[in-house]
Amino acid sequence: MRKTPVCVVGLGLIGGSLMRAAQSAGRDVFGYNRSVEGVEAARFDGYDATTRLDEALTRAAETGALIVLAVPMPALPMMLTHVRATAPHCPLTDVTSVKGAVLDAVTEAGLLDRFVGGHPMTGTAHSGWTAGDAGLFAGAPWVVSVDDHVEPDVWTEVTALALDCHAVVVPARSDEHDRAAATISHLPHLLAEALAVTAGQIPLAFALAAGSFRDGTRVAGTAPDLVRAMCEANADELLPVLDESLRLLSDARDQLAEHRSVAELVEAGHAARVRYDSFNRPDIVGVVVGAPGWRDELAAAGRAGGVIRSALPSRDSRG
């Protein structure tokens, strides 16, 4: 069976890596990039790239390609308008880190029925075509959304692409993804910033700082613009988990002041970390894509740590 072609919109670190990985997997891949430099670099490396978005999208419509939106969030609405105009029936996915905001933009553009959101959880400190690498996704979790609107055929296409890139697929609802990302990625950034600022005010702190401080503030080294973009785009999900952390720390503060004890927080924190260390990553098998309740089943399996390492069976009928 011929594999579905892939049209990559945006050839930066993620889009460029995806183009390389999908082509190595034997797919027809073509792509669009705004900058001439990126396109020339991709062509020099032997890839099929253009600066003409209409050309890329027309070809996607003609070949029934899977369109992957790999542009930054601010550029997304404009790209969606073009997709709607030129290739509205192509299966559509994205690689953006905040899924709720993308879902809103896709709904706004009237493209929800062919869209399944994605988020490959990988990256490097570098950007642009030249930073790309066909191996970037190998072994990394790639979230593929199982929201209520998701169609089995598009979901299967997006999952197949992620598996072609050698990622492991984590099925998840967009809202749960965003809440989890707020907790495990955006909140740690804010805690690290607060720790760095606090230490910066204390004489002798930098002079004595060692492992705990270095680990605890490592992500404060990330460029402020990137941290702001992540945290602010996901504000609705970040606020409740930030509030929960503030509550835990304030309670510990009161216990320490009144009873000179931090037992409650320290024991709960240690137990949670031990639970994380022993968290299983079982393979998800036996779910039939398109069968009744398949989206809820996959969401539950992903929540429990399950990952998809090879294609799931699917039903012809829509679930």
- The interface with its own copies within residues 203-222 (CB under 8 A) comprises 203-210, 212-213, 215-222
Nearer to its own copies, 22 or 241 (CB): 241
Nearer to its own copies, 78 or 246 (CB): 246
Nearer to its own copies, 78 or 209 (CB): 209
Around Cβ 17, how many Cβ atoms within 10 Å?
A: 27
Determine the Cα–Cα distance for residues 9 and 34; give it in Å rounded to an integer: 9
Nearer to its own copies, 61 or 248 (CB): 248
Please tell me whether residue 285 binds its own copies under the rule CB under 8 A: no
Nearer to its own copies, 44 or 206 (CB): 206
Nearer to its own copies, 85 or 266 (CB): 266
Q: Please give the structure tokens belonging to residue 265.
A: 């927080």
Binding mask 98-127 for its own copies (x = CB under 8 A): -----------------------x------
The minimum distance between CB 165 and its own copies, in angstroms, equals 17
Q: Which residues fall within 8 angstroms of residue 266, CB to CB, at 6 or more apart?
A: none
* Total residues in contact with its own copies, by rule CB under 8 A: 92
Task: Give the footprint of its own copies on residues 134-163 (CB under 8 A).
Answer: 141, 143
The minimum distance between CB 222 and its own copies, in angstroms, equals 7
Q: Where are the alpha helices (DSSP H) in the chain?
A: 13-24, 36-44, 53-63, 76-86, 99-108, 152-164, 174-181, 187-200, 205-208, 211-217, 224-233, 235-259, 263-277, 294-303
Amino acid type, 178? D
SS3 169: strand
The minimum distance between CB 65 and its own copies, in angstroms, equals 28
Q: How far out from the chain centre does Cα 282 lie?
A: 20
The minimum distance between CB 48 and its own copies, in angstroms, equals 32
Among 125, 272, 285, 311, binds its own copies (CB under 8 A): 272
Determine the Cα–Cα distance for residues 143 and 156; give it in Å rounded to an integer: 13
Task: Give the footprint of its own copies on residues 228-247 (CB under 8 A).
Answer: 228, 231-232, 235, 238-239, 241-246
Please tell me whether residue 316 binds its own copies under the rule CB under 8 A: no
DSSP-derived letter for residue 289 is B
Please tell me whether residue 304 binds its own copies under the rule CB under 8 A: yes
Task: Give the footprint of its own copies on residues 250-269 (CB under 8 A).
Answer: 250, 252-253, 256-257, 260-263, 265-269
Inter-residue contact 86 to 157 (CB < 8 Å): no
Binding mask 166-205 for its own copies (x = CB under 8 A): ----x-x---xx-xxx-xxx-xxxxxxxxxxxxxxxxxxx
Nearer to its own copies, 66 or 187 (CB): 187
Q: Which residues fall within 8 angstroms of residue 203, CB to CB, at 6 or more apart?
A: none
Q: Please give the structure tokens belonging to residue 200.
A: 């910066």
Q: Which residues fall within 8 angstroms of residue 145, CB to CB, at 6 or more apart?
A: 99, 103, 116, 117, 118, 171, 172, 173, 174, 177
The minimum distance between CB 196 and its own copies, in angstroms, equals 4
DSSP-derived letter for residue 31 is E
The minimum distance between CB 118 and its own copies, in angstroms, equals 13
Q: Which residue has the tokens 């390492």?
A: 309
Task: Give the footprint of its own copies on residues 51-90 (CB under 8 A).
Answer: none
